[in-house]
Structure 1
Amino acid sequence: MAKQQSRGFHHACSHQAAQQLHGRDDVKERIIKEILCDTNHVNSCTIICIVAGSGLGKTSLLHVLHNDQRILDAFDKRIWIHMTDKFDKLKFFWKIVEYAIHDHCHITNLSFLEEMVKEELADKKCLFFLDDAEIEDRDFWFSALQVLNSGTKGNVVVIATTSTTVAACTGGATHSYYLNPLSEDNNVTLLQQYACIDQDIQSNPDLMKIAKKFVTRFGENPLNLKALGGLLSHSDTVPLDKLKFEQNNVPCLQLCHDLLPIHLQHCLAFCSLFPKGYIFDKHYMVVLWISQGFVVPVEGRELEDIGIGYFSELLCRSFFEYSPSHSDTDDKFVMHELVFNMVVSVSYNKYFRSEDNLTDIPESICHLSLVSSQIQTVQLMSRTEDLKDLHTLLVIQPEHQQYKTSFPTIILVGLGDFFLKFTSLKTLDLSCTEIEELPSSIAALRRLHYLSLNSTSIRALPSELCSLSNLQTLEAKHCRFLAELPDDTKRLVSLRHLHLGKELGFVRLPPGVGQLTKLQTLPVFHVGHGCSIGELRSLDNLRDCLLVAGLENVSNGGEAREAGLKDKQHLQDLTLQWQDSSIDDDDDDDDAEDVAEQVLDSLQPHPNLQELAIRRYEGSRFPPWMESSSSLPSLVSLTLDSCFSCTQLPAIAQLPSLKFLSVRKTYDVQRLSNGKHGDGVIKFPSLELLNLWEMYGLEELFEASDDGGDCPRLKKICISRCPDLKRLPCVPSVVELVLHCCDELPDIPELVSLRSLRIEGFHGVSSLSLPPGLPALKKLEIRCCDELSSVSRLSELTGVERIKIVRCPKLDWPRSN
């Protein structure tokens, strides 16, 4: 009977879609109304408090609010902060600064930090989402809100908490919302969505009976139903008679865990090494799982693809969720607190996370992580003296995000002896540690599959490292002192991933790197210093992104052709880069332009390529393959940067998939489209975003067709420092226009869909005349126009909901709420 009833359940999802609400639409709309309410234009920011138990959907609600288009239109900044158990004022302000500068903040002077936050919030209307805010300290909230009030009027703070007293601690929330458990109907709908059931449960009595059993037993918490739905969606038959819900006292999440395939249980257990609230990068986790042997090989498939499938299944089963502070396309994920606690509880005997230097490490563990937010010294041998074996050592920063300038938080002592003792290590991550060299005893780690030295002060890698024939991943990103790899790097025959990027300069690759034919990841390849472009010839397994720099060191087209880029079908993102000509100005080489043209002509990529960037190109013309829709049928993004000698862009208007086009510092180009297209042919049929910077000779974009059929999908245009551009074409689909640092406003035609217009940096302009025919305009922003004293037609924009004028000292305009 159970087998027959289960036929309504089937696996039909590769992963769950972004956060969706069930039964919370009413409260969502009420909160949005409060956020957007005109009474928010007062000196004190509005505080909205959402209170509910763990797993009842607070974060899902915040996520939906965060991404609502009405919110996007109304605020300059949205700042999401996940408040961990150990949050204080310093960490709170750190997070705001880091969110603003996209880099690590190491300032410890609280007063200075507060001033930095105030400066960042000045002239900006901000919306703060504070998730898991459990701090019941009035002094904390008084100080925090005092700083948040320093910005533009109308700031809003939305707090999600399980504590009923947090609202009072803030000084009294403007509005409080208490989330109750979902109704039975909403629970059934939720279960149906996550179980991927192919028919309406309500219309099937048998399925409805099963669903009600689930809801009755586990329906108080939606997270349980999501996990159960994921379990059902991945089961060919559901052993309902074995589960015996009425008698089974095993917690729901643990039950769903225990019914996982063993390889997925191993992958989940590994996640317990990371701190609560950590933001997981999907690809990073997959590489770690592979290093431990958790990913089971399948003939004809790459391990990485299999591992991605594992992650997607765990996501579908609700063990992972999309990170609410990232875009759903960023591949960043979080683990719900209840799931995390369950994973820790079932893996404690083999996995241990040390978050201080005092707790004893159990002797039974095989996987160890060290987590620290403050600088401390760890005596490795004394800390691990009771351990008999160790397969993993990870040094993890609790900030949940690795920044380029991350500062070391742990000083490891005794690394050499540690390597000699634990020769079974498979995974070793020493990122962000105070390490300048690796001991030669690294050679003892014959089973090592993964080694990361990111953001360290390492100056050289020992030659002994090259004896590790099983090493699959070597990372040394943002190591500012590392200049080159050992000469025998070619002996790392199992290497699949080699990450060496840094902000300034590059890490020299030795001759023979082309023998590493299993390489899939090599983000940066610099030609020169003994490493020829021909080393790329045999690396046909390269995937994702590749930057080929130092192309000025390639002597002719034949040499460039040896790279075999046309055969690299897995590459998605390719950058071709010459050296900045100002660094080495050699006027004696009259053939440099011709050579550059030959080289670029010979670097034609595979038709599967999706993103292409060409930087500092020294030629005056682009090759024919850039103009052919058959050569670049899948190209989505094209960037042309600092191509100073070019007077004409390639005929790219017919590339069928091109969505994003950015052109910068092509000073002599007069027209974006060079006219090599037949009459009646739609130009840029897929283009959505157009960025043009510092094109001082640009006079027009293209001659738009009379019927307005060109660029039918173009949504956003950004133009900066294009002083000769006199007019824009009529593109009815454009919804956002940004004009920056020009001498005068170009003629803007009737843009019937334009919702947002931003004018900035017109320093010498004393008057502006806004264009007519903007019926959809909702947001107007004018910034940093020092001499601007009048704006005509401003009063005609009756449909505009928000006007923002900043740093225009001579402009007198009627200010009102």
Structure 2
Amino acid sequence: MAESFLFSFSTNLLIKLSSLVSKEQSLSSGTLEPDLRKLEATLSTIKAVLLDAEEKQAHNQEIRFWLWKLKYVLYDAEDVLDEFECEASRRQVEKPKVTSFFSNFQFKMSPKIKEIRKRLDEVEGSMSKFNLSERTDVRRVFSRSSFEDNVFGREGDKENIVNLLMQPGEMESFSVIPIVGIRGIGKRTLAKMVYNDERVDKNFELKMWVCASDEFEVSKLMKEVSTSANGKKLFMVLNDVGSESLVHWNDLREILMDCARGSKIVVTTNSNQVALTMGTVPAYVLKGLSHEDSMLLFVKRAFRDGVEKNYPNLIKIGDEIVKNCGGIPLVVKTLGSVLYQNTYKHEWMLIKDSQELRLLERGTGDILPTLKLCYDHLPCHLQRCFAYCSLFPKGYRFTSDYLVHYWMALGFLASSNETEELEDVGLRYLKELFSRCLFQDIEDNGYCFTFKMHDVVHDLATSVTPRECSRDSLAPKHIAQIVRHFSFVDIQHSEKVAELLKNLRATRTILFPSLQSKNVTQSFVSSCVSNSRYLRMLCLNGLRFEELPDSVSSVKHLRFLDLCSNSVIEELPESISKLYMLQTLRLCGCSGLKKLPSNMQNMINLKYLEITTKERRLPQNGIECLSSLRHLHLSDCHHLVTLPDKMQSLSSLNTLILQGCYSLISLPCSIKHLKRLEKLVIYNCPELNLKMDLQDKEEEHCLNVKVFMINGLLELVDLPQLILQGSAKTLEYMKIEACPSLKALPEWLANLTALQKLEFGSCPELSCLPNGMNKLTSLKELKIQNSPILSESCRQNWKKISHVKEIHLDSAIASSKLYNYLINE
């Protein structure tokens, strides 16, 4: 893999250097300032030509070797600069008595800075012979306000498949309908349309969707089928089945024989051999979109609604581009996204005349080179973040919060604006990648996004991933030494993984992204912890072990620690509180955890915290002292009876999630002081009373909550006035679900003038919406499910909600204009 991402890498380093120079300048001694300034100047000079060098390296091996040397200087420079951040945090906590903040530390670091300077000067000295030009990254940054996945031209195909599903069962219990087509043609999209069709819901007792790409997970699937599908009429989609999965088919077939007669399996595949082997009926061959439908999709992705009519010259060029796309929806919408809001004719012509598109026009069937056009048009900082996603397996469902914190832990996110939170930077990056159709199945859960990568887009990410990333590879030691990021999907031979990691001191990432409850030895855990001095991210999610070694405190650069789903660990070492740089700590699913460390207040950089614990009360002077904390998630803390009283100290808290806290009775009144709280989510806390004492009745309680979601509050009879009415000008999304005691809504609900989306589900006693709903002029979507009385009330009093653009009433989706037309007729 050619050396890449150095422009983004150097940009982030310069931001760190600039900040450090400013700090040094403010110190009385400032002994390091001259060297740091020279380092900054040299790096700025090199950065100016990096884009030209990265482009020319493909045809110049000497430039490629020069970039390789530069990369390892930058890695070492980042580690040295990180030492300053670690020391600053340590001194903030331990407060040593020294006359100058960095006096002793400066003396220790001076030789390291000089060494980096010397190596970087050598790199700069050899730069002149390459005749490189200075360039800036002019690739555009944009993001859409919505990320709907538009589908055109597949209604006929959907009807054909649904008709096959409705046919009577054969002699065997089930029949298999293969959908065959080339990659990117829309097989998954078609299967999804069929899967969500109401006729399928009515005709089958059970539905299952299985992503068979990369790993078939046959044992997990067979267990699920045998326990839940036995004797039932089943509809299953096996998405993206490859020829390597055929070895498991006979085993799965045997279990499926126990399903009720008339069960149907839809298989999507690129392989005719798979279709012949698995199918019981002739394969449905999915063809490309018509030119007309392709143009509709292209225009939808390339222009904002209605703007295309102002650019007839671009539409003509777009028509030529679409003709060469072969009717492949993934290519059409990706190229349309590349050109979104771009009105420069010459850039459209570059796409039309590109070599990659010509290859596709010749019928090669390989869409990867064409998709790389999208990657090539990404700004450098997005290329780096996108490529990192290749460490996760195909079919993996990402969560926005976690992915953003991965990037943050590894230093991929940076902003010259000191007031901008890095989490917000990461979310902006993510939305830009959404806009370019590099992720699919995007679901907005209110407080986070979940999404997947199309398999061919995953192949694209893998093809551009640098050599320092390794997924599921037990590389020879001399090769592994250059790997910085390790991801292991399978650790059947954990002793070999442990041996590999034992001597790798430059590792930044150790990741186990999709393991399910795997027992490992203490020596294995120690090998992950003890030897990687510069480790930034350690994800042991799904691994079961009884103790985290004390030596974890020596990994002082660690930003992300994930111990989720470890049901056997009972306590954490107190030394974990010495991880002063830690930003993310995930302890969800640690159901055996008896107590938290007593000095968690020392984790002064902790921003994201998930906890499962057996404690009745959280330790005093612990979590409530974390002024940097932005996200707090208490999950399945069954014995927890109260939250900390002094929550007002959580001055940065943005998101609070309470889930499965069965004994929790009330929220502390101090929640009214959380002025930065934007998302409050409460699930399955049946005893929780949200009615809080306002105390000072004359005090103005102004909160800024934007998302409010509650589910499973069995005793709830009133909505919390303090939280909701106090957020009247900011609340955008409210979801009330499984609250059987809620019978009426307050009249002040109509004061929530910023509300855009309102949902009710499984509230059987709720009788009507309050008067004044017409005041909610920002309301765009109203959704009511499993609440028949409320749904009927809305139908009877349509004028209350006629201004809402989209209305869902107990499975019936209504457009207000259509409904008005029907009732007037």
The bucket for the TM-score relative to the shorter chain is 0.5 to 0.7
Alignment match of 2:658 (pick from 532, 547, 550): 547
Name the amino acid aligned to 2:760. Answer: F
1:384 aligned residue: 501
Determine if the alignment matches structure 1 residue 350 to structure 2 residue 460: no
1:306 and 2:425 equivalent?
A: yes
How far apart are the structure 1 equivalents of 2:772 and 2:623?
A: 50
1:206 aligns with 2:300: no
2:734 match: 636
Query: Any gaps of 5 or more consecutive residues in structure 1?
Result: 1-8, 98-113, 399-405, 581-592, 665-670, 693-699, 715-731, 738-817
Aligned equivalent of 1:429, options 518, 539, 554: 539
- Matching of residue 25 in structure 1 with residue 155 in structure 2: yes
Q: Does the C-alpha gap of structure 1 residues 67 and 632 become closer, same or farther in structure 2, counting only changes over 3 Å?
A: same
Q: Counterpart in 1 of 2:388?
A: 270
Q: Is the 8 A contact 1:83 1:132 kept in 2?
A: yes
Q: Which one of 280, 296, 303 corresponds to residue 196 of structure 1? A: 303
- Paired residue secondary structure (1:659): strand
**Superposition pairs for residues 628-667 of structure 1, below 5 Å?**
634=731, 636-638=734-736, 652=746, 655-656=749-750, 659-660=759-760
Query: CA contact under 8 A between 1:218 and 1:252: conserved in structure 2?
Result: no
CA shift, 1:625, in A, is 3.0
Structure with more of its chain in helix, by fraction: 2
8 Å CA contact 1:352–1:361 kept in 2: the answer is no
SS in 2 for 1:254: helix
The residue number in structure 2 matching 1:285 is: 403
1:179 and 2:286 aligned: yes
Equivalences for residues 392-407 of structure 1 within 5 A: 392-397=509-514, 406-407=516-517
Q: Which residue of 2 aligns with 1:495?
A: 606
**1:439 equivalent in structure 2:** 549
State the match for 1:49 in structure 2: 178
Q: Output aligned runs, 1:646-725, within 5 Å.
A: 652=746, 655-656=749-750, 659-660=759-760, 688-689=783-784, 708-709=796-797
Q: CA deviation at 1:521?
A: 0.9
The 3 A distance-change label for structure 1 pair 603 and 431 is farther
- For 2:389, the aligned partner's letter is C
Amino acid at match of 2:421: E
Cα distance change on mapping 1:507 and 1:605 into 2, 3 Å: farther
Residue 625 of structure 1 corresponds to 721
More moved, 352-361 vs 208-217: 352-361
* Cα distance, 1:510–1:417 mapped onto 2, change above 3 Å: farther
Change (3 A) 1:553 1:315: closer
Please tell me whether residue 72 in structure 1 is matched to residue 191 in structure 2. no
1:192-216 Cα deviation digits (max 9, x unpaired): 2222266687996632442244345
Measured in 2, the distance between the counterparts of 1:628 and 1:420 equals 48
Q: Is the 8 A contact 1:627 1:652 kept in 2?
A: no
**Hey, what's the Cα distance between the residues in 2 that align with 1:329 and 1:167?**
40
CA contact (8 A) 1:527 1:553 kept: no
Aligned to 1:611: 708
| Aligned 8 A contact 2:768 2:793 in 1 | no
How many equivalent pairs are there?
A: 645
Q: Which residue of 2 aligns with 1:334?
A: 452
AA at the equivalent of 1:34 = L
Q: 1:319 to 1:690 in 2, by over 3 A?
A: closer
- Quote the residue 1:165 is aligned against: 273
Aligned in 2, Cα 1:505/1:392: closer, same or farther, shift over 3 Å? same
Q: Which residue, out of 516, 528, 548, partners 2:626?
A: 516
CA offset digits 1:124-157 (Å, max 9, x no partner): 4322111112247878545534533433343221
- 2-structure distance, mates of 1:662, 1:296: 43
Distance 1:195 1:475, change over 3 A: same
Other structure's SS at 2:488 match: strand
Partner SS state of residue 533, structure 1:
coil
CA distance in 2 between partners of 1:680 and 1:137 (Å): 54
In the superposition, relative to structure 1, how do residues 546 and 153 fare at CA in structure 2: closer, same or farther (>3 Å)?
same
For the residues of structure 1 that align with 2:405 and 2:628, how far apart are their CA atoms?
14
Distance 1:45 1:292, change over 3 A: same
Measured against aligned partners, the alpha-carbon deviations of 1:258-309 in whole angstroms (never above 9, x if no partner) come to 2211111111121111122222222211111111121222454332222122
Structure 2 unpaired stretches of 5+:
1-139, 360-367, 813-825
Task: Name the structure 2 match of 1:571.
Answer: 679
Q: TM-score, normalization: structure 1?
A: 0.67
Mapped pair 1:322 → 2:441: yes
Q: How does 1:530-541 map to 2 (within 5 A)?
A: 533-541=644-652
Secondary structure in 2 aligned to 1:480?
coil
- Answer whether contact 1:375 1:409 (CA < 8 A) is retained: no
Within-5 A mapping of 1:664-813: 688-689=783-784, 708-709=796-797, 735=810
User: Corresponding residue for 1:465?
Assistant: 576
Letter of the 1:189 partner, please give it.
L
Query: d(CA) in 1 for partners of 2:309 and 2:718?
Result: 61
1:36 to 141, 152, 166: 166
Query: Is contact 2:298–2:333 with CA below 8 Å preserved after alignment?
Result: yes
**Superposed displacement of residue 485, structure 1:** 1.9
Separation in 2, partners of 1:736, 1:651: 22
CA-CA distance at 1:224 after TM superposition: 2.7
User: Do 2:494 and 2:524's aligned partners in 1 also have CA atoms closer than 8 Å?
Assistant: no
What is the deviation of 1:709?
2.3
Secondary structure of 2:159 counterpart: helix
Distance (whole Å) between structure 1 residues aligned to residue 654 and residue 342 of structure 2: 33
User: Take 2:461 and 2:773, find their aligned partners in 1: how far apart are those partners?
Assistant: 61
Q: Which amino acid aligns with 1:245?
A: D
What does the per-residue CA deviation read over 1:553-574, in whole Å, with 9 as the maximum and x for residues that have no partner?
98xx9xx433435645413325
Q: Secondary structure at the match of 2:467?
A: coil
Give the CA deviation at 1:42: 6.7
Q: CA deviation at 1:351?
A: 0.5
Output the CA distance in 1 between the equivalents of 2:572 and 2:297. Answer: 53
What is the letter of the counterpart of residue 157 of structure 2? V
Contact conserved, 1:379 with 1:412, CA < 8 A, in 2? no
Which of 225, 233, 236 in structure 2 is aligned with 1:128? 236
Distance 1:364 1:357 in 2: 10
The match for 1:16 among 143, 147, 153 is 147
Corresponding residue number in structure 1 for 2:98: none
Provide the C-alpha distance between the structure 1 equivalents of 2:281 and 2:290, rounded to a whole number of angstroms: 27
CA–CA distance in structure 2, aligned partners of residues 736 and 247 of structure 1: 48
In the alignment, the residues of structure 1 paired with residue 222 and residue 696 of structure 2 have an alpha-carbon distance, to the nearest angstrom, of: 48
CA gap of 1:316–1:551, structure 2 versus 1, over 3 A, is same
Give the CA RMSD over aligned residues: 5.0
